[in-house]
Amino acid sequence: MADMDDLKEGKKYYTDTPQKSDGFFLKGSNSLDWGMKNRLSRIFNPKSGRTVMLAIDHGYFQGPTTGLERIDLNILPIVPYADTLMLTRGILRSIVPPSLSQSVVLRVSGGTSILKELSNEDIAVDIEDSIRLNVCAMAVQVFIGGEFEKESIINMTKMVDIGTRYGIPTLAVTAVGKDMARDARYFRLATRICAELGAQYIKSYYIEEGFETVTASCPVPIVMAGGKKIPEFDALKMAYNAIQQGASGVDMGRNIFQAESPVAMIQAVKAVVHDNETPEGAFDLYNTLKHQG
Ligand code: R5P
């Protein structure tokens, strides 16, 4: 107990200086609770307002994807460059050291494989485990227009309800069926539905035409999904365009860990996301870092 004998009366009240009440830096997130804002601030860098999420959760439906065969050897060396790691609890517990300082976004939907209908997912992780693992967000796949559209939307709304109870944001991951049109109209529909139903942020693909209308009509942050591997310069250009057209970051997997030099690629992506580096400048950086080994 404090020594009562030496108790001094406080004098520094600064009565002429009103207490500041800052708005929160993330789009559409000002009315969220403290814990949720704090977790979002560990995903999105408060200085740039953006994030580089490294997505390595592919194994939850497609097994050991190229580049993810040995996460301990191939992925752990690039983790320090990411703002956030997006993965499953199986990989987190079995391979990632708990001394990790990056935030974790946990894949919580699942239950299907590439051998069956992918949209037939359920919630596959109990909220208690997300709390136990100290995650900063929970990722749920949403299949707008898919065979199990309703079920996947309800998976997401359930996680929004449970996550709101404990201050953990829900990331809605828009998944597009092979036969669906990947255009601005579709992504405006998919992202807006997820936002209206409460997702705190949304992952969506980049499209050449009208991506800025997708980010403009979505009231919460959008992070760009990477998609299949394309040449490094093209991937940096895609990330640059997405950021300049309103994305609040990227959630990239294959275009980082399948790059010729993943360590160089993630640093080049970071320059694009946090420093507005041009695709040309970022590609130069990539080549310099790659040759440095
Ligand atoms: C997809 O459902 C997975 O959850 C990945 O997180 C996502 O596809 C991002 O990885 P990539 O950039 O390789 O597409």
pLDDT single digits (tens) 196-249: 999 999 999 999 999 999 999 999 999 999 999 999 999 999 999 999 999 999
Would you say 142 and 175 are in contact if contact means Cβ atoms under 8 Å apart? yes
For atom 14 of ligand 1, the residue with the nearest CA is 227
Closest ligand 1 atom number to CA of residue 86: 6
Q: Which two tokens stand for residue 55?
A: 């997505």
Would you say 177 and 146 are in contact if contact means Cβ atoms under 8 Å apart? yes
- CA distances (Å), 221 to each of 8, 31, 79, 164, 178, in order? 48, 14, 23, 17, 25
**11 CA to middle of ligand 1, Å?**
56
**87 CA to middle of ligand 1, Å?**
10
- Summarize pLDDT for 6-27 with one digit per residue, the tens: 677 778 899 899 998 889 999 9
What φ, ψ does residue 18 adopt, rounded to 5°? -65, 145
**111 CA to middle of ligand 1, Å?**
16
- Tell me what the mean pLDDT of segment 85-108 comes to: 98
Average pLDDT value for the chain: 95
Residue 8, class by beta-carbon neighbours within 10 Å (0-12 exposed, 13-18 middle, 19+ buried)?
exposed
Closest ligand 1 atom number to CA of residue 257: 13
Give 23's DSSP letter.
Answer: P
Question: Comparing 134 with 179, which gets the higher pLDDT?
Answer: 134
Q: Of 203, 254, 257, 265, which is best to mutate to test ligand 1, by the most ligand atoms within 8 angstroms of its C-beta?
A: 254
**254 CA to middle of ligand 1, Å?**
7
| Residue 203 designated active-site | yes
| Helix axes of 232-244 and 262-275: crossing angle, nearest 10 degrees | 20
Please state, in angstroms and rounded to a whole number, the distance separating the CA atoms of residues 152 and 62. 19
For atom 3 of ligand 1, the residue with the nearest CA is 58
Cα-to-chain-centroid distance, residue 57: 12
**Nearest C-alpha neighbor of 174 from the set 197, 151, 159, 152:** 152
Please state, in angstroms and rounded to a whole number, the distance separating the CA atoms of residues 135 and 152. 21
Per-residue pLDDT band for 182 (boundaries 50, 70, 90) equals: confident
Please state, in angstroms and rounded to a whole number, the distance separating the CA atoms of residues 42 and 14. 32
Share of the chain above pLDDT 90, in %: 90
For atom 2 of ligand 1, the residue with the nearest CA is 58
CA angle 253, 256, 257 (to 5 degrees): 80
Q: Can you give the pLDDT at residue 5?
A: 67
